[in-house]
A and B are shown apart, each in its own frame.
Chain A
Amino acid sequence: AQSVTQLGSHVSVSEGALVLLRCNYSSSVPPYLFWYVQYPNQGLQLLLKYTSAATLVKGINGFEAEFKKSETSFHLTKPSAHMSDAAEYFCAVTNSFGNEKLTFGTGTRLTIIP
Chain B
Amino acid sequence: EAQVTQNPRYLITVTGKKLTVTCSQNMNHEYMSWYRQDPGLGLRQIYYSMNVEVTDKGDVPEGYKVSRKEKRNFPLILESPSPNQTSLYFCASSSLRPPGETQYFGPGTRLLVL
Count of B interface residues, CB-CB < 8 Å: 28
| 10 new A-B contacts at CB < 8 Å, known A44-B105, A94-B100, A102-B33 | A43-B4, A44-B90, A46-B102, A49-B100, A94-B99, A97-B99, A100-B94, A100-B96, A100-B103, A107-B42
Interface assignment of A9: CB less than 8 Å from any CB of chain B: yes
Is B42 touching A105 in the complex (CB atoms < 8 A)? yes
Determine which residue in A45, A49, A102 has the highest number of CB atoms from chain B within 10 A of its CB, and name it: A102
* A26 nearest CB across to chain B (Å): 15
Query: Given that A43-B106, A44-B90, A106-B40 are contacting pairs, would A101 and B100 also be in contact in the complex, using a CB cutoff of 8 Å?
Result: no
List of B residues within 8 angstroms of A92 by Cβ? 43
Is B40 touching A96 in the complex (CB atoms < 8 A)? no
* A86 nearest CB across to chain B (Å): 17
Q: How many A-B pairs fall under 8 Å by CB?
A: 67
Is B45 touching A102 in the complex (CB atoms < 8 A)? yes
Is B40 touching A9 in the complex (CB atoms < 8 A)? yes
Interface assignment of A70: CB less than 8 Å from any CB of chain B: no
Binding site for B on A (CB under 8 A): 6, 9, 32, 34, 36, 41-46, 49, 51-52, 90, 92, 94-107
Is A98 touching B48 in the complex (CB atoms < 8 A)? no
Chain B stretch 71-112: residues in CB contact (< 8 A) with chain A: 90, 92, 94, 96-103, 105-108
* B8 nearest CB across to chain A (Å): 15
Bound Cα distance from A32 to B98, whole angstroms: 12
**Per-position contact with A for B23-59: 1 when CB-CB < 8 Å, else 0?**
0000000010101000011111100101000000010
